[in-house]
Each structure stands twice: as structure tokens, then as C-alpha cells.
Amino acid sequence: MLSKGHAAPILYAAWAEAGLFDRTELLTLREISSDLEGHPTPRLPFVDVATGSLGQGICVAVGLALNARRIGSDYRTYVLIGDGESTEGSVWEAAEVAAHHGLDNLCAVTDVNALGQSQPTQWQHDMEQYAARWRAFGWEALVVDGHDLNALLDAFEKAKRTSGRPTMLLARTIKGKGISFIEGKNGWHGRPLKKGEEADRAIAELESQLVKLPEPAASPSLIARPSPLPPGPARATPRVPAPSYAPGEAVATREAYGTALVKLGQADDRIVALDADVENSTYSEKFSKAFPSRFYEAYIAEQAMIGSAMGLASRGAIPFPSTFACFLSRACDFIRMACISGLNVKLAGSHAGISIGEDGPSQMGLEDIATMRAEPNMTVVYPCDGVSTERLMEAIAYHPGPAYIRTTRPKTPVLYEANERFEIGGSKVLRQADQDTVTVVAAGITVYEALKAYDDLKAEGVLLRVIDAYCVQPIDARTLRAAARATGGRVISVEDHYAAGGLGDAVAEALADDGYVVRRLAVREIPRSGKSEELLDRYGISARHIVAAVRAMAAGVKP
């Protein structure tokens, strides 16, 4: 892993030098036609996970090292980080998790060049500051001269012989080493040499010091190669036992999540789980009890958890990291990079929305759909009952790329038969008749509010079309359009989420091309503590509000 992704040109040059592709292609660096991008991405065959957001590589490396254990391999994981990025908290989360798991198959290197982007780093070349921190976190820490190859090789050997804990090589280096007018000087970060005298002089100085290697014979072209993002899991999808709930049975989707995870784990040894000390709330503890060797405890360190999942996914595992939906926001930047990398990371956020009740706003995930939907290749599912949860878990496990499943704290009655099918990009029309006047699109907990509204209005002779939009991204545009058409373009969305970026926006974009607009019911202010039902009502997403919106719409009243 090259965590300091801005050093990409060195990575590319090294691979070209090793003969992977023709050296002349290095000159396409950062061009739109080239996969040699400004920072490494998995468009390149020698990159597993994109880097360029500092402090992530070492978290990913923890996942790569855990993966070696998972598959019983003795491969070793190496990661190069920068001294500047060592101030990222995620680095210390990784330090703690790696030491906790005793990952002696992991060797990190810090390039202590003493210069950050805008100024000298906090500790510059005070190597003992770094060593003291890593040792306190339980790592073997070795200080070496980063320009002394023999010293580096000895240190790598020593790391290999160290057991029970990971090793950090603290390599003292001079930035720009070998170019007399640059080395050790501030102000050259990311600054290209001027063409002409400046560049010529630097090249001449470097060439006088380098051992020239022979040109590799007939290297293949990197540009000509197709550049897909990593493919989905290659093996055939295993059979997973069907859900076994009785209709109407009360089960929280978060609990069904745990049940589904165990079933998946039984059917497929690539399934692994991670949690951040809330496994008794997310129900990933069902998996941790069933498969302790495939469960990775990150304690309260969401960035290290998601980063490890990225590393595991890049080596063929199918990881499910879970925590409260709101606390996944601790790792948004990791999720962003997982999406750039197209990894099979299956995120699970429990305790979504105001329906969690008394714990209050700090524990309510109300932005998570917006965050996840923003990523163009993220699949977002939001089941309302136990059956759909189990089926959608199976669907996302074997759907290539990143995915997010949103679960609810309170119990909800089982709506679906065990053999009902749920697909990525699908939805369910729960109530339907020719005389339907308004379409109500709901998901998760609000499906039950929509059904209550249906019952209330039916008593008055007003019929609703009720849709369970269990897949929020990609959303089932075809079904939504048909429903909108059938109900005269009258569509209401209702969601336990803030108004911007959620279900309502997804439905609105799906219907826009047909000219239909959506009346969105959502949470529009910072909520407070209270009982689940009280909150649904106070913040405008209960059955009563749906009924009012339907009446206003049917009467042609603008809100």
C-alpha cells in the first residue's frame, strides 16, 4: 500500500522500471487518456485500493493483514505512510487495532521527510517523538536512515522476525534528496520543475547519481489495456436458507440483519463482519458468536473499521462493517474512497432515523441516505421487515461494488411471505386498485405509517397506491412512473430522514423526465428525545401527516 498517494509518480516509475509497462507511458501522467492518474486508483492493475486521502492506507493495510490470517496465508503486508499524515486520528485507530490483533505480518514505514504541504511537519526530524508514540501503542518501532538501502533491508528482516506485534520503520529521509537546490527545502511540495534550465539541471544531477538499468525488453502497453474497476465476486452465489418468520411477527430489521449475516456466513466463508463496540445493538454479535474467527472487533474506531473492511474486500472477502447509521458518518471519507475504489464493502447502519426514540438526535442517523446516495456507484437498500432484510442482505452481498443497508431500532411486523423476491433496483407495490388517487412512496419504518394512512383513508373511500421503495439506489423508476401515471401524477414520499438528499429526492429525480413532481414528507428540523411514535408524529412523517397531505393534494391545495 502506498498510503501517501501523492507520491504516485514514484510508484508508477517503479512498476515501469520493473517492466510492467513501457517507460515512455510515464509521460502520460495525469492526462485524461491515461490511467496514470494524479493519485493511484484501481484502474491500474497494481493498485488494490485508491489512495490520496491521507491516513487511510494504514487502515486498509490492517485489513490486508487480517485477510492473510483469514485465508491462512503467510503473505506480509507493507504500507508506506507520510510523516505529515501521522497526525490523522485514523492512523492511531489503525495502530490500536493492529496491536490488538497482534498483526506481526504487518510492516509499516513512515517516510519522515520533515516537510508537509504548507510547512515543516510538527516533529520534523525528531525521530524519537514518532518512536515513542508507536511504542506506546504496542508496536515495534525501528528508526532507520531512509536513504541507506542496507539499513532498510536489515530493518525489514527484523520486522519479519518480530512476533506478536506489528512493526513501524521510521525512515529518516530528505525530501528532494539528490537535487542540490531542492533537497530539504520547504516550498517544493507538488510544485513541478520549470521546463528548461531548472528541469535540465535537476535531471543531470539525478542521472549522475543513478545506476542506469537496461531498458526492459518489449514491455506491454498500459494504455492499450482495458481498465475496469475491480469485478464483483467471481464464485457462484451460494444458496442461503429462506427467512422463517411468521407473517405479522414483530422483529426489528436490525435483528434480522444479524440473523441474515449468520446465514450468509454459513453459506460462504468469504463473508466477514466488523463492528465498533455496538454489536449488541447492531446484532452483528450473532455473527461474532457463530464465526469468531471471521469477526473483527474495532472497538470504537469507525475509520479503522471501514478501512480494514476496504483491505479485506480488496483481497476477496465480503465484509459487513456495522455500527449506528449516524456513526458511519465518522468514516465518510473512507466510504468515499471505497467508492472510488469500487470495493465490495457492505456497510450496515442501524438505529436509523427519529424512530430510535429517547436517545435523542446525537444517535439518530438522518443524513445517511443523502451521504450514501451521493456516491454514484453505491447501492442503498432500506428494508422494512425481517423477510426483506434477509433477502436484501443476500442481494447486496452478491451485487458487485459498495452497498449500504439501513436498519431500524424498533420492532416492525413481518409484511412479506418468506418466498417473496427482492432485487437491487426493485420495489413492492403493497396496495393497488384502479381507483387509486395518490401514490405514497415509503421505505423502512414509514411503510407502516403509509399502510395506516391507507386504512384510514379507505374508510372514507379514498384509495392510495402504497409503494415500499426498499431499494433507494438504484430506485425502481419504472414502477414509480407507472404509479405516478396511474394516480394522475399525485405522488407523496415519506421518510424517516432529513428532507435533502433522501428518498424524496430519489423519487423526484426518477419521475422528473415524465414531468411528475413529488410532495416530500421528511424530518425538517433538529429533532429531540421522545417516544418513537411521538417523534414520527411531531416531525411530520406519521400516518396523520400522510392523510393530511393526501387530502390537500386531492383538493388541489398547494402546501
Smallest gap from Cβ 155 to a copy of itself, in A, equals 21
Between 301 and 486, name the residue whose CB sits nearer to a copy of itself. Answer: 301
Between 101 and 465, name the residue whose CB sits nearer to a copy of itself. Answer: 101
CA atoms within 13 A on the CB side of 445: 27
Between 101 and 270, name the residue whose CB sits nearer to a copy of itself. Answer: 101
The string of DSSP letters for 172-186 reads E--TTTT-TTTTT-T
Q: Is 302 a catalytic residue?
A: yes
Catalytic residue among 88, 140, 302, 390: 302
Residue 355 near residue 536, CB atoms below 8 Å: yes
| Contacts of 287 by beta carbon, 8 Å cutoff, 6+ apart | 258, 261, 262, 265, 273, 294, 295, 320
Smallest gap from Cβ 499 to a copy of itself, in A, equals 7
Query: Which triple of cell numbers denotes residue 191?
Result: 510544485
Q: Sign of the C-alpha dihedral, residues 261, 532, 427, 246?
A: positive
Instruction: Calculate the alpha carbon distances from 454 to 422, 438, 458, 523, 552 in Å.
Output: 23, 10, 6, 21, 15
- Between the two ends of the chain, the Cα-to-Cα distance in Å is 54
Between 229 and 267, name the residue whose CB sits nearer to a copy of itself. Answer: 229
Smallest gap from Cβ 210 to a copy of itself, in A, equals 26
Smallest gap from Cβ 11 to a copy of itself, in A, equals 13
Secondary structure of 354-377 as H, E, C letters: HHHCCCCHHHCECCHHHHHHHCCC
Residue 265 near residue 238, CB atoms below 8 Å: no
Smallest gap from Cβ 264 to a copy of itself, in A, equals 21
Phi, psi for residue 435 in degrees, rounded to 5: -90, 10
Smallest gap from Cβ 16 to a copy of itself, in A, equals 17
Between 71 and 517, name the residue whose CB sits nearer to a copy of itself. Answer: 517
In the block, cell 501503542 appears at 137
Q: Is 461 exposed, middle or buried (0-12, 13-18, 19+ CB in 10 A)?
A: exposed
Between 358 and 423, name the residue whose CB sits nearer to a copy of itself. Answer: 358
- Supply the angle between the helices 477-486 and 503-512 in degrees, to the nearest 10: 70
Q: Cβ of 24: how many Cβ atoms within 10 Å? A: 10
Active-site positions read 302
